[in-house]
Amino acid sequence: MLAESELPTELSPFQSVDAAYPVELTRCYDALRRRLPVLIEAEKELAPYVYRSIRDRLKADGTRCLYLDGRASADLPPPPQGASLVGAMIHQIREVVRGAVGERIVVLPHLDILGASGGGGFLGAEARELIPLLYENPEVLWLGFKDPSFPLPQPITNLFPHRESIIGIPRDRLAHLITQREARKLGRGFDPYQLYKHISGLNAVRLRRLLGSLTGEDYPVDPSAAFAQLRTATLSNDVQLPNVSLETDIGGYAQVKERLKQEILAILSAKDKLNDPNQIARLEGLLPRGMIFWGPPGTGKTLFAKAMATALGAAVQIVSGPELKSKWVGESEENLRAVFMRARQSAPSVIVFDELDSFAAARGTYTGSGVEHSMVNQLLTEMDGFRKEELVFVVGTTNFVESLDPALLRPGRFEFALHIPYPNAEDRREILKVHDKRLELQMTEAAIDYAVKRSGEHVPGPSGGTNYSGDHLQALGRQLARTRLREGIEGPTDPAAIDKAIEQYLDLPKLTKSEELVVATHEAGHAITALGCKHVPPIDRISIRGDIGGALGYVQHADRAHRYVVTYAQLRDTICTMFGGREAEALILEDVSIGAGSDLHNATSIAKALVEEYGEEVPELAIGRWALHERDKNHSETTRTRLDNAIAAILEHERARCRAILTEKRGLVIALRDLLLERKVLDRASFAHLVT
């Protein structure tokens, strides 16, 4: 905290620049005194004030400057009539280089405009004319200015051995940039660290302009309105202030939330309570600036990034990885540079690179133009250029973390990896509750329970084959809301509405009675076999409605109690259950459909793994999954025959065991089949009376 009396009473823009950047200005002045050309990177609105501060220091030593901005100068011949502003500046540079300037320092306030590329990374006409002129007379001492948003050709940059970047405001100088009147608008006791996180990306001139425009009463009890006024003014068109609550807007994912809190939010919260600069700097050094949020599509990776930004009071830029890439040389890197520049100007901020793997895949795997390697280098350069006190975080989202360039994942870069998987049952329940409240669905507890159970299956329709993600659950909620609106439903949402929302627009197969009989017999066979195998998880649902893409029917099991340890007995029971459909058809219908083809393929794959990878039957010959492709080279014909016989023995043993279970419980298979034909879909409670 600083006492109000310690703050200045008035500050002009020129005084604020001197107060904000004394170290940078001194370095530039010293370099020029040593006859070193200087290039200053600063925003256009700041550059004139920086120049004046340096000029005043030089003037005190008797050194003069020649300012070349294209306007008429008494020291130079006038430009050709009708010349453009750029043409006039080129003319002035030519006259200076080929004339006599003495000890004067030649100032190029718009060097970025003169050196602009002609598109596609090629030099424009002005740049091609400018570069030889800049090198023509080594006696000329240059002071150049460029805006951070504009790149310079490398030959121009190389001309300047001393380069200074003046972006944002150093935190330790902030106390010198606010007047007593302005501090009164921010409450009692000025806390520069509290203010800094709202305005760290502003330059001194823009900050003074915004502080001067602060409205409201003096010494407000709650200064949040004044901080919000400042914060809003820091945003550009491509940057947004998110409003996503980690607790109320994102359901479930307790472990993911806890890790975010512990690793990021708790450290920042602790930092905000400190006043000692050394302790603050120590905590800032602990924060990971680069993060990878990885997991399947639709699980909320970007939503978590927005929630983190909301908790930090940070702005967000959502950047599509593929959209950054350009066919023009150098333009992709420039796109990246512009993203980081906007982030620093609006800090605290979070940059979210969606589909980071689109340009940051492991080197050697690129299939594009090769620009990806340059983009990765540019990304790392920008991240390495942050000041510690700058609250700029970079989040890369990807479905394939293993495909990312290892250079990105080393400590100090993207060192924080957060896995966001498909939601489990408890996560799905909490996500559904969020959408229930937001969309006013009035879901009963039974409806939520049923929706959790249904969403444990694979997604039906075009997305078939994937698990339900947060996006799928949101789509389910929106479908329920549309149905309620369309049909004028005002009462509670029941379980039947869940089925309707999931299936009403599915192109379900229209089976004949005889086809339904085959499918019902097949699924009943799977179910009864599973009930006879003690290592198979309980059955949650049986359907012959064709409501999962690619399957006319299915048996849905609960999650395994043990997810990480798998035994021989479990795999054997799985193989036995897979024979259930085929053997039931053969036993009861005395014919077999080709619908068992997938079951037989999967059963054979498991049996092969048991023998060749996991060592059952012939453990001395197990060759391991890493060497399967060498099988034919490494084993004799006799050995291969032993392996094949062992696989066949497992398959035949489990097929016979399945046949025995179904023969013993033939009446139960028929009863379950008939119940399926009647109801089409059964949950556990619907057939419990048959098996108890």
Encode pLDDT of 308-349 as tens digits: 988 888 888 898 877 777 666 667 777 888 888 888 888 888
- Report the pLDDT value the prediction gives residue 67, as an integer from 0 to 100: 93
- For residue 167, what pLDDT band results from cuts at 50, 70 and 90? confident
Q: Give me the residue label for tokens 């049909």.
A: 487
CA distance 129 to 155: 12
- Separation in Å, CA 123 to CA 40, 88, 151, 156, 163: 21, 19, 11, 11, 22
Active-site residue (options: 41, 389, 523, 585): 523
Residue of 165, 205, 227, 172 whose CA lies nearest to 389:
172
Assess contact for 92 and 134: CB atoms under 8 A.
no
How many beta carbons lie within 10 A of that of residue 150, not counting itself?
A: 19
- For residue 665, what pLDDT band results from cuts at 50, 70 and 90? very high
- Report the pLDDT value the prediction gives residue 628, as an integer from 0 to 100: 47
pLDDT top residue among 569 and 357? 569
Residue of 284, 283, 279, 360 whose CA lies nearest to 324:
360
Assess contact for 131 and 155: CB atoms under 8 A.
yes
CA distance 397 to 320: 10
Assess contact for 471 and 484: CB atoms under 8 A.
no
- Report the pLDDT value the prediction gives residue 549, as an integer from 0 to 100: 54
Assess contact for 325 and 367: CB atoms under 8 A.
no
CA distance 541 to 452: 13
Torsion over CA: 43, 49, 53, 56 (sign): positive
Q: What mean pLDDT value characterizes the chain?
A: 85
Rounded to 5°, angle at Cα 156 from 152 and 157: 70
- For residue 364, what pLDDT band results from cuts at 50, 70 and 90? low
- Bridge partners of 293? 397, 418
**Residue 127 predicted with pLDDT over 70:** yes
Tens digits of residue pLDDT in 423-456: 999 999 999 999 999 999 999 999 999 899 888 8
| Strands, sheet with 392-398, edge to edge from the N-terminal-most edge strand | 315-320, 349-354, 392-398, 290-294, 416-419
- Report the pLDDT value the prediction gives residue 135, as an integer from 0 to 100: 92
Q: Which of 243-257, 386-400, 521-535, 581-595 has the lowest mean pLDDT?
A: 386-400
Distance from chain centroid for Cα 499 = 33
Residue of 663, 661, 668 whose CA lies nearest to 688:
668
Tens digits of residue pLDDT in 59-95: 998 899 999 998 888 788 888 888 888 889 999 999 8
- Report the pLDDT value the prediction gives residue 118, as an integer from 0 to 100: 53
Tens digits of residue pLDDT in 628-663: 444 444 567 887 888 889 999 999 999 999 999 999
The predicted model gives 353-376 an average pLDDT of 70
The predicted model gives 225-247 an average pLDDT of 80
- Report the pLDDT value the prediction gives residue 531, as an integer from 0 to 100: 93
Tens digits of residue pLDDT in 666-679: 999 999 999 999 98
The predicted model gives 4-24 an average pLDDT of 90
Within 287-364, where are the H helices? 301-312, 321-324, 331-345
CA distance 680 to 429: 26
The predicted model gives 576-582 an average pLDDT of 95
**Residue 163 predicted with pLDDT over 90:** yes
- Report the pLDDT value the prediction gives residue 320, as an integer from 0 to 100: 85
Q: Which of 234-238, 390-394, 681-685 has the lowest mean pLDDT?
A: 234-238
- For residue 626, what pLDDT band results from cuts at 50, 70 and 90? very low
End-to-end CA distance of the chain: 73
Query: Which distant-in-sequence residues (6+ apart) come within 8 Å of 353 by Cβ?
Result: 319, 321, 360, 394, 395, 396, 397
pTM here? Answer: 0.73
CA distance 83 to 73: 15
Tell me if residue 523 is catalytic: yes
The predicted model gives 136-148 an average pLDDT of 92
pLDDT top residue among 157 and 286? 157
CA distance 468 to 629: 34
Q: Can you read off the two tokens belonging to residue 141? A: 């001492």
pLDDT top residue among 99 and 571? 571
